[in-house]
Every structure is written in structure tokens, then in C-alpha cells.
Amino acid sequence: MSQTPKAIGSTSNAITLEIEQRPAVVVPKSYPNGFVIDWHFHRYHQLVCASSGVMAVETENDLWLIPPQRAVWVPAYQKHMVYMYGDAEMKNLYLHQDIDLDLPSESCVLNISAMLREIINHLSESAEQAAQDTFSQPYRNLIQVVLDQLKVAPQASVNIPVPSDKRLVPICEAILQDPASNQSLKEWAELANVSSRTLSRMFRSDLGMSFIDYRQQARLFSALKLLANNQPVTTVALSCGFSSLSAFNQLFKLNFGVTPGKFFSAPLLTA
């Protein structure tokens, strides 16, 4: 968080001009594996939708993972970074900041309905026509459907909280770097020069979850990145520190509603 975020409309002033003239703009983008979009913010709302690959959006408080059938809601002026895992295709839906939206004031992951997915694809493929139809009733009706779908889109827990307590930062970074490690709470407490009880309280008060739950989230987070790169499910389970394939499948389904093998088989945004 040491860098000062910059305000950007997208990658060009043209997008800023478009969103000032229209209530919604969809911009498709492609990025190579490992690409990072540095800290920045927009003067308008953004829905970051993954078409392929997996992306992560980091805000001041959370690290959000975006699998292909989900999207991250980023309100206007919310500082964020974007990381690409695998060659990534995304659709960015930009919404004018003055639109009255009954959506969270902080970033969150949303499950995207088939209807919203198709509308985003349509707006992306017919951007030139949309510019001409900005004030037409059919276009306004379409945008209203987008807003209605966003309001009822269920949130998904695909995030890892970012610690504000400086004592937790190196511990959390180490867990994210090596989620398969079985280093215990007691061992981490000794390294941090605090008692196990104190460290346990720090996790709960600062991150809102226990040490075990945080490590579990880190393992699931890492697993999604590996699955996005077509790694075998068994390899992913063992690489991320799960005791067995069945344990991985059970926890994965508990969190995401489907098994790892089926997670990326849902209809996607067309790239």
C-alpha cells in the first residue's frame, strides 16, 4: 500500500469520455499470465468479469479471486490492483457513478446469472451500435435489466481478508506463499514473539476468522489458481496441503457448491 493509486478511466481517455456520455460501457481486455495492473481507482463503478483464466482483485481490505463464472464488484473510487493467473480474458462493465445502485459500498464477488452474462457479451460485441443507441428506449431497457440483475446477484465468498495488524502481515504473506505448510499456530506465535492465545485473538479481531479458517481459505484460493491452469485435481489437492482428495472435494463443495472438477464447466463469458 506504499504506492499512491492513480485515477484512470480504463486504458485510455476514450473510455472515460464514453462512460460520461452513456450509463454503461463494456470493454473486453486480454492479458498474459502474470500480468499485474497496479494500484488505481476509477471515477465510476466497475464489474470485473472473467471470461477465461483466473484473476485476483486486491483492495485495501481484501484479496478477491475471480473465477470465470463470477465477477468482482468495484465501487467508484475504490482503490484496487488486478493480478492475472493464466492467460486471462476479461469483460469490464463500467457504470456511471451517478446511477442509483442498491449494491455494497465495498468490493465483493458476485455470481453472474446466465442472463447478465449474455447481456454483457452482447454489449461488448455491439459496442459501436450501443454508442448510437444510447438514448433509445431498447438500450435503456437493456441497461435496466443489467441493473436489476446486479441487485439480485448473490455474493460469493472467494476472498481472503488483508491484515491491518503489522504483526500479522508476514504470517499471512507466508501462508499465502506456501498454503501447504502445516506450521502450527504455536510455531507462528513463537516466531511473532506472542503467545498462541494472543495470535489467535489477532486473527479473529483483525481478519474476522480463526487461524485455521484463514489457512483453509488460502488453500482454496491457491487451488483455484492451479485449477484455472488445468492442473489435475489430485495434484492440486496435494500441492495445496489437503490431506486427501476426498477432503479437498468435500471442503471445495462446501464452499463453492460444486466439486473441483465441475467448477470451471459452467457457461462462461465468451472471450
> Could you tell me which residue, 267 or 151, shows the higher pLDDT?
151
Q: Using an 8 Å Cβ cutoff, are 203 and 210 in contact?
A: yes
Q: Taking residues 225-254, what's their average pLDDT?
A: 91
Question: What tens digit of pLDDT does each residue of 90-134 get?
Answer: 888 898 888 777 777 888 888 888 888 888 888 877 655 555 565
Structure pTM?
0.73
pLDDT at 9: 40
Q: Give the domains, in start order, of the chain with CATH numbers.
A: 6-156 (2.60.120.280), 163-263 (1.10.10.60)
pLDDT at 174: 96
Question: What tens digit of pLDDT does each residue of 199-230 get?
Answer: 999 999 999 999 999 999 999 989 988 887 78
Q: Distance between CA 132 and CA 224 in Å, rounded?
A: 40
Minimum mean pLDDT range among 30-39, 40-49, 153-162:
153-162
Minimum mean pLDDT range among 30-39, 59-68, 170-179, 260-269:
260-269
Exposure of 138 by Cβ count < 10 A (0-12 exposed, 13-18 middle, 19+ buried)? exposed
